[in-house]
Amino acid sequence: MLNLLIPRVHLGGSLNLNGQTSFAYVGLTWTFDVTSNVFVEGSFGGAVHNGKTDPAVLHRSALGCTALFRESGTLGVRLTQDWSVMATVEHLSNAGLCSNNRGLTNVGVRVGYTF
């Protein structure tokens, strides 16, 4: 329960090697242990991207602003004291603060190591 009151700072990014949208983010993450091996996490923060802000390019989402909000949710399993595997969904959006707000949602699996 104490983990819900004490967030961790996180910093990360996603690099698109196909010349499309890449982004970097920073924020706070809260972790809640469901069992000794299973946990859930929620995070909130901000992001910046190099994608399109206006709908001028076909097949590219117009994100409206360069600065976006980022939130994510995770369900994880601790494999050992140091290693874990997590299913994560993240969403980036400008929350309607700019004229275009298509947003960007990613779903994936992460492997984590605790130092």
- pLDDT digit string (tens) for 28-80? 999 999 999 999 999 999 999 887 777 666 666 677 888 899 999 999 999 99
Taking a C-beta distance cutoff of 8 angstroms, is the pair 14, 34 a contact? no
CATH top-level class for 2-113?
mainly beta
Taking 60 as the threshold, does the pLDDT of residue 23 lie above it? yes
Q: What is the pTM of this model?
A: 0.82
Instruction: At 2, give phi and psi (nearest 5°).
Output: -60, -35
Helix (H, G, I), strand (E, B) or coil at 2: helix
Determine the pLDDT at residue 80. 96
pLDDT tier for residue 1 given thresholds of 50, 70 and 90: low
Query: Whole-angstrom Cα distance, residue 62 to residue 3?
Result: 37
Mean per-residue pLDDT over the chain, rounded: 88
The two structure tokens encoding residue 53? 């802000």
Q: What is the DSSP annotation of 43-54?
A: EEEEEEE-S-SS
Q: How far is CA 63 from CA 32, 47, 89, in A?
A: 31, 12, 18
